[in-house]
Structure 1
């Protein structure tokens, strides 16, 4: 059997969305230096969900990842014992009452909690492209014939950086300004072998331009207790950075003798940085490809930028709401500090959500 015949598919999607809601107006109300700045208009984020560590599901990074994984398994044809691989992609690693945990690995702990006792397990770390990176690795493992099925999962308690920004921001040009757009969630996706073209990952490819890694850095705050995110928004989102995706994607297609228009995508999901960012990236794509963009799906207005989980949370929400139709071809475009870009093309028909 060829590696093409062994292609993978997205078999099931799960998520954990905290019940607690925080509006952008309420968040900005904590920040005296931004009174009069319309952050909601600038980012497009009306509200986001905020984890509650005291909830029944222990809404820290680990707890949300575990809940999302269970949600995916609940709509999958597989049980936890059937999983050959568990990959965790969380950036934030809060566990056990707010402790930032590195060992043991999240993937190992999740596999044990789920009952995936025979699964290979490991963590990946690639900023907001983490889940896409996990899918990339798992897709290759399935294509190679090394495994049959696996889980990629993440939980992000990103609003910790929003709390720090609300305390420390000096003005709208502060490098912590982007922190005001984040939200908390968990997401999980199960992959297995594709059996027909109606459910298949056609390709997933990624590119890292490490010379730009300094443009977005997460670290302990240099002013108060807590973690902070420092982003040079102007340089991070200038026209050359935004053009990285369509130029990379266009070159990828050209090598196969195809072009963007011929891909006939029904939907595109950009990283949920903000509504302006999504509009700018899609406009850049249209200009670079010389072709119109497919319908753009978003959830950023309701959930904010949920880091690694954003593409799969958006996909799940639109499939469940019926605003994306089964049988369609989806394009997921990562965007992460690094700078990371790429493309995931998949036709989705019978995926459990």
Structure 2
């Protein structure tokens, strides 16, 4: 409800919010509403790393990388930049576009696998944005995180009576890249994107259909596991003490061929399932927007769905694989350039570590 004050909105909802003194919200009483996507924003680090730059570190070349992946540049956190800072910048832009005040945000969903804090970055984003009335927490689902966060937001609106929800996709996979491995270091970049999802009026619903999946057996093909830091030291009386070193995560391990096969097989299936739920066909899609992992995957999925290239959104060449940030980053650029317009139907799909994958068919505006 643009232009409606926080107090008026609370009266319409028939409930209160959690105040800054920690008092409990009154239960929200209006449920079953649809959602609409009304604001987006994005942010990327200042440091640009080109394929030529990487060729100075590992045995590779611009041609070798671009032919196999479609990537030419990526952005990497440096200096005093933080992932939380990128998320805040992207969120401010989304709020500005949506004409929603920070006080009127009910929920902040921080979709990330690389938070600045082990316990999550959502509450820090909520604090620094000034969303003093909002609940905030992290969703960890790697490259599928934003799609899962988007669907989760609509469920909070439909079943919980929430009004304004910020869904943020943000990752800094450069922190876990082995820069001596030319098979993986060429792929990843850092970024953040945000989307403001708002309760709709009447029967309107911007989420037309979705389909979500997980398969833990595929974790062996894409992971960054906790390192084994050695054997705990025994004490003089034979009991075992705690490990002597702090835990940390390994660099990203990826079986590129298996991940490629998984993506080209499963992504069209979830898009088709979501379209079926929405009662639509591929010809009804204005734009196909996939997680930006590899241009060959994007092209293969588009071909399978018979969607022409001029209806496919891709900014992979400029940013590489930014994990949970890739879909909202590309969507923000497409909206601000005038490509995606109010009423357009966008088929989105995320896929990656876990393994997790899923699709959401949405209408913009």
Smaller-chain TM-score range? Answer: 0.7 to 0.9
How far has the Cα of 1:285 moved from its partner?
A: 3.1
- Normalising to structure 2: TM-score of the pair? 0.79
Deviations 1:43-86 (A, max 9, x none): 111111122233xxxx2211111221222222222111111111
How far has the Cα of 1:3 moved from its partner?
A: 6.6
How far has the Cα of 1:179 moved from its partner?
A: 3.4
Distance in 2 separating the partners of 1:253 and 1:36 = 37
8 Å contact kept, 2:39–2:98: yes
**Aligned residue among 123, 127, 131 for 2:146:** 131
Are 2:47 and 1:20 aligned? yes
Question: Judging changes above 3 Å, is the alpha-carbon distance between structure 1 residues 226 and 180 closer, same or farther for their aligned structure 2 residues?
Answer: farther
8 Å contact kept, 1:266–1:294: no
Alignment partner of 1:269: what SS?
strand
How far has the Cα of 1:154 moved from its partner?
A: 3.4
How far has the Cα of 1:298 moved from its partner?
A: 0.4
Matches within 5 A, 1:206-225: 206-219=212-225
Which residue in the other structure is 1:235 paired with?
A: 258
How far has the Cα of 1:323 moved from its partner?
A: 3.0
Question: Judging changes above 3 Å, is the alpha-carbon distance between structure 1 residues 35 and 77 closer, same or farther for their aligned structure 2 residues?
Answer: closer
Q: 5+ residue gaps in structure 2?
A: 1-28, 230-247
How far has the Cα of 1:233 moved from its partner?
A: 1.0
Which residue in the other structure is 1:30 paired with?
A: 57
8 Å contact kept, 1:10–1:199: no
8 Å contact kept, 1:268–1:294: no
Which residue in the other structure is 1:8 paired with?
A: 35
How far has the Cα of 1:293 moved from its partner?
A: 7.6
Aligned residues: 319
Which residue in the other structure is 2:354 paired with?
A: 338
Distance in 2 separating the partners of 1:30 and 1:226 = 23
Matches within 5 A, 1:172-251: 177-195=183-201, 200-219=206-225, 227-238=250-261, 241-251=263-273
Are 2:326 and 1:315 aligned? no
Deviations 1:109-153 (A, max 9, x none): 211111212211211111111122111111111011431111112
Distance in 1 separating the partners of 2:308 and 2:41 = 31
Which residue in the other structure is 2:315 paired with?
A: 299
Distance in 2 separating the partners of 1:84 and 1:265 = 31
Q: Indicate the larger mover: 69-78 or 188-197.
A: 188-197
How far has the Cα of 1:339 moved from its partner?
A: 2.6
**Aligned residue among 269, 279, 283 for 2:299:** 279
Alignment partner of 2:165: what SS?
strand
Distance in 1 separating the partners of 2:213 and 2:65 = 31
Are 2:69 and 1:43 aligned? yes
8 Å contact kept, 2:142–2:353: yes
Question: Judging changes above 3 Å, is the alpha-carbon distance between structure 1 residues 34 and 292 closer, same or farther for their aligned structure 2 residues?
Answer: closer
8 Å contact kept, 2:223–2:252: yes
Are 2:136 and 1:114 aligned? no
Larger Rg: 2
Distance in 2 separating the partners of 1:134 and 1:255 = 19
Which residue in the other structure is 1:97 paired with?
A: none
8 Å contact kept, 1:10–1:192: yes
